[in-house]
Structure 1
Amino acid sequence: MRNFEGISRIWIFIKDPNKKSFFKIIKEVLVLIVKKREFPFYYFKYIYRKEVTNYLDYLSAGEMNKIGNSKILHKPEYNSLIGNKLFFTLFSEKSSIKTPKLISYNIGRSFCLSNRIIEVSTLKGVIIFIENVFNELNIEELFFRPPLGYAGKGCFKLTKKNLEKELEAYYLTILNGHFVHTEVVKQHSEINKIHSSSVNTLRLITLITSTNSIEIISAFMRFGVGKSVVDNSSSGGFFVGINLEDGTLKKTGHYLLEFGGKEISKHPDSSFKLAGFKIPFYKEACEIVISATKVIPDRLIGWDVAITNEGPLIIEANLGPHLPMSNIAYGGMLKNEHVKQLMQELKAMK
């Protein structure tokens, strides 16, 4: 049972009224053991539910590990470029990748603004620096992200209106850490109708196939809940699959198991119905990640894309595209022919 991440997750499975019958679960688990050659602990995170009939189409934990650990999918020279948000943002400014504007950044107590390095060590010093940023650039907000952070952890927003109060909570975090400071993305008005407190991003996963074509193999959208400024499912939000052909949302939103594993059809705050929502600039979002993949030709990348009233922006790239969420959002990644071919390619590498 150690493969379950906590007793609470086991309890969610036991109490779930939507699980298949005991005998069906036993039968499917036995089939998966034979077919996948591993015990399917991953089955008990989602696939045990009644609506999942194509259980063999879901990537197993072993198959996801094989993809994640494959040396043919990731070039070492791209690791720091993709994995470090500061490097990625600086690179994007010099290339054709459209990202939120880099305003400033700090590496510990060394702050950089417009190619000027300023040493800051006190609350007053941080206040003066950020006030200068607001005044020089005539902006009202600034978004902070740690360069090596993930899943929205460590992100926060500072505002001109409440700067001193906000910095009382964050200034030591800033001085003792490293942060990328970017413009605050103004989300598309149609998406704001669903949830406006966070920028709700698309996760588009690109794969460069063995024949060198670039394909989008999975897409889903993350939504924040409550007053959270991040949308990540790993931070308490939920995700919804996207129909690849037309850019509409599927009918069901999913919380990760550690947040209850609940399935929803409406946003819990706005009660906005998810099914069929047409994502603005979806075609353009697909085009910019394909173009970005040509600039950074790593074979498997998860791109986070925000949609503004003017079009899509790439927020960041991810070496780990979160295959478990993709598996659920797509309805079994092995239904995708490109993923099937990838697994055959990896198997042949033995």
Structure 2
Amino acid sequence: MRISALRRKIRNLFKVVLKDPRRKSLFRILFEYTRFLVTDPIVADQYFYKYLYIKGANNFGDYKMTRRLRNRCWKLNDDAYASLLNDKYLFELFFSRFGLSVVRSYAHNINSLFFIQEKVIQVSTVNEFIDILESLIRDAPETKSLFIKRTEGSSGGKGIYKISARDLRTKPPRTEGLFHEIIKSGYIIQEALVQHDMLSRLNPGCLNTVRIDTFTNRQKISKIISAFIRLGSGESLVDNVSSGGMYVGIDINHGNLYAEAHSDFTH
């Protein structure tokens, strides 16, 4: 384990763990963590993030998600289709052909070139950028706002922005910063979805998403492994755990949510 990672865990120990009323005794935590540092570093690496410091958590052998194992899981996927999942623009083009409901995109860019329907527009100034966004917002009558996301690599909720017509004129520093950020890379401009009222009751501030884990074996038989719903927290626009969100498991046999939500323990 790197020294920087160990220091971060120590900071989290005092910042979060010691204040957790569910925790084991401090002596027990230090004893278990030190023992695993010596005997099983994989468990030590996940001791806090998997809540193994909580009273009653003794199933240490269940936590063996090493980088090697994670990489093997990814290699089960066909690399030929990886770009369809990683690139939001290709994802929309491909899956919309099969009648699947996907988020509608109004435009995408490659640096200062913006592709809007059949047109290619060179955007060189902040005012030109504002004009384009205002035009696109007029095409989104229901929400009057847009989501701007990195076309690729926006994992963890990073590189995602929500903007309205009012924001464009009342928050010039933010708009200018967004412009300079977008033209450095590739982004996609999408409609802001309106979620179902039941999902909105859980958290109206962001789009709460249901995720289903599937596995396809060598015989090409697909099965559902698990399902869960991700929820944002506070006024966050995203539901990613690394950005303060949480997830709740779904009983796939009955369609009910489990009683407890989980998040990164530092949140």
What SS class does the counterpart of residue 258 from structure 1 fall into? coil
1:192 to 200, 216, 220: 200
Cα gap change, 1:241 to 1:65, in 2 (>3 Å): farther
2:91 to 88, 93, 96: 88
Cα gap change, 1:251 to 1:71, in 2 (>3 Å): closer
Residue 132 (structure 1) shift: 2.2
* Equivalent residue number for residue 18 of structure 1: 22
**1:160 is aligned to 2:165:** yes
One-letter identity of the residue aligned with 2:243: S
Moved more, 242-251 or 184-193: 242-251
Q: Which runs of 5+ in 2 are unaligned?
A: none
Q: Which runs of 4+ in 1 moved over 6 A?
A: 27-34
* Equivalent residue number for residue 227 of structure 1: 235
- Given the two structures, how large is their TM-score scaled by the length of structure 1? 0.64
Residue 145 (structure 1) shift: 0.8
Moved more, 83-92 or 112-121: 83-92
- Given the two structures, how large is their TM-score scaled by the length of structure 2? 0.82
One-letter identity of the residue aligned with 1:203: R
Please list, as runs of the form range in 1=range in 2, the aligned pairs for 1:1-350 lying within 5 A after superposition: 2=2, 3-4=5-6, 6=8, 7-11=10-14, 12-20=16-24, 22=27, 39-41=42-44, 42-45=46-49, 46-56=51-61, 58-62=62-66, 65-70=68-73, 72-136=75-139, 138=141, 140-148=144-152, 149-166=154-171, 167-259=175-267
CA distance in 1, matches of 2:48, 2:135: 52
Residue 16 (structure 1) shift: 3.6
One-letter identity of the residue aligned with 1:164: R
Cα gap change, 1:176 to 1:70, in 2 (>3 Å): same
Cα gap change, 1:104 to 1:233, in 2 (>3 Å): same
Q: 2:42 touches 2:64 (CA, 8 Å); kept in 1? A: no
Moved more, 16-25 or 75-84: 16-25
Residue 71 (structure 1) shift: 6.5
Aligned residue pairs, count: 255
One-letter identity of the residue aligned with 2:227: A
CA distance in 2, matches of 1:193, 1:256: 22
One-letter identity of the residue aligned with 1:249: L
For residues 228-261 of structure 1, what are the alpha-carbon distances to aligned partners after superposition, in whole Å with 9 as ceiling and x for unaligned? Answer: 21111111222222222222221112220333xx
Cα gap change, 1:59 to 1:208, in 2 (>3 Å): farther
Q: 2:214 touches 2:224 (CA, 8 Å); kept in 1? A: yes
Over the residues paired in the alignment, what is the CA RMSD in angstroms? 2.9
* Equivalent residue number for residue 329 of structure 1: none
What SS class does the counterpart of residue 241 from structure 1 fall into? strand
Residue 54 (structure 1) shift: 4.0
What SS class does the counterpart of residue 187 from structure 1 fall into? coil
Residue 15 (structure 1) shift: 4.8
Q: 2:244 touches 2:263 (CA, 8 Å); kept in 1? A: yes
Q: Which runs of 5+ in 1 are unaligned?
A: 260-350
Residue 51 (structure 1) shift: 4.2
Relative contact order higher in (CA < 8 Å, ≥ 6 apart)? 1
CA distance in 2, matches of 1:180, 1:5: 38
CA distance in 1, matches of 2:99, 2:60: 41
